[in-house]
Amino acid sequence: MSDEKEQISAECLEAARIVVNKYMSTQCGKDGFHMRIRAHPFHVLRINKMLSCAGADRLQTGMRHAFGKPIGLIARVRIKQILMSIRTREDHKEKAIEACRRAGYKIPGRQKICIAKEWGFTKFTKDEYKLYKAQGRLVHEGAHATWRRAHGPLAKAGDKAVLSYELERKSIITKNASEKAKAEKAAAIKAAKEAAAVYQEALKKRAAKK
Determine the pLDDT at residue 133.
Answer: 80
The pTM assigned to this predicted structure is 0.66
38 near 69, Cβ under 8 Å?
no
For residue 47, what are the β-bridge partners? 69
For residue range 59-105, what is the model confidence (pLDDT) as tens digits? 676 777 788 899 999 999 999 999 999 999 989 999 999 999 999 99
As a whole number of angstroms, the distance between CA 18 and CA 107 comes to: 12
pLDDT band of residue 144 (cuts 50, 70, 90) is confident
> Residues for the chain: how many in total?
210
As a whole number of angstroms, the distance between CA 151 and CA 163 comes to: 9
As a whole number of angstroms, the distance between CA 154 and CA 17 comes to: 45
Q: Minimum mean pLDDT among 121-125, 155-159, 191-195: which range?
A: 155-159
Q: Minimum mean pLDDT among 6-10, 88-92, 167-171: which range?
A: 167-171
